[in-house]
Structure 1
Amino acid sequence: MDIALLVKVLAPCLPFLIKVGNKAVEGASQKVGEDVWNKAKAIWAKLDPKVEAKAAAQEAAADVAKHPEDEDLQASLRVQLKKILETDTALAAEITQILQAKTAQPTGDNFQMQGKSYDQSTFKQVGKIEGKGDVNL
């Protein structure tokens, strides 16, 4: 289980996962992308009861939710999640499956250019793509 990857997926979503509401969900999928948001929701649904049961994990998650880009806070969350997942190997296996699941393939409605994803019908930016700016239609 790659705990660092797990925290990288969860960190930008935690402010929305901890304060779930219709506006929060809308903001999350716009900020991190629908695929990452869906993975984070599925993972958090499995992790949340374990995090809630452990005060230190709860505090670490709340801290990352307040400051998702703080590497020190992410390190604290990594330690807590590592402890949880080392004691629950079945949960670790489930989360690994979610992390490794293929994301939905892009439809013909979107295209990618210069590291950004655009909606073809409106030409509005809908996401950011990691990597160089090749055009993928």
Structure 2
Amino acid sequence: MDIALIVKFLAPCLPFLLNVGGKVAEGASQKVGEDVWNKAKAIWGKLQPKVEAKEEAKKAADAAKENPNDEDYQAALRAQLKEILKADTALAEEIAKILQATKSDDSSVSLNAQAYDESIQINTAGDVNQPNYDFTKNINSPK
């Protein structure tokens, strides 16, 4: 399990997750997007009891909440979550399932590029491991 991914996913949501309330939750979904917010809530719902039970983990979460973009605070939280998930493999599996649901079911990527000379422009996005490109010329090109 990629614990760094969990922390990167949770970090922008921590200020909202640790101050959950009606208006706070509304602001969170607007800031990070409803889908991300709902998944972050699901992950945090699983992790929170373990984090609250461990003083060092609680301090790391609070520090990451105050500084969500700081790599050092994220590293401290990552170390604490690593210990928690190593000790509780069932919890790790539950979180892995939630994270897996965050990935797109469709691994295809749409590519749209224009070139007005003999050059080829390739732009990719997403998790592209083995892309297949069709370099045939479009006979309707503006050239």
State the TM bucket, normalised to the shorter chain.
0.7 to 0.9
1:46 matched to 2:19? The reply is no
Q: Tell me, in whole angstroms, the C-alpha distance in 2 between the residues paired with 1:104 and 1:38.
A: 16
Identity, % of aligned positions: 67
TM-score, normalising length: structure 2? 0.71
What is the aligned residue count?
Answer: 107
Q: Tell me, in whole angstroms, the C-alpha distance in 2 between the residues paired with 1:88 and 1:103.
A: 23
1:93 matched to 2:93? The reply is yes
Runs of 4+ in 1 over 4 A off after TM superposition: 102-105
> Is there any run of 5+ residues in structure 1 with no aligned partner, and where?
106-130, 133-137
Cα distance 1:22–1:104, how it changes in 2: closer, same or farther (>3 A)? farther
TM-score, normalising length: structure 1? 0.74
Q: Tell me, in whole angstroms, the C-alpha distance in 2 between the residues paired with 1:102 and 1:33.
A: 13
Could you tell me which amino acid in structure 2 is paired with residue 72 of structure 1? D
Name the structure with the higher strand share.
1
Task: Compute the displacement of 1:102 (Å).
Answer: 4.7
* Higher Rg of the two aligned structures: 2
Task: Compute the displacement of 1:94 (Å).
Answer: 0.1
> Is there any run of 5+ residues in structure 2 with no aligned partner, and where?
106-124, 127-143
Per the alignment, residue 76 of structure 1 pairs with 76
What is the RMSD computed on CA atoms of the aligned residues?
1.8
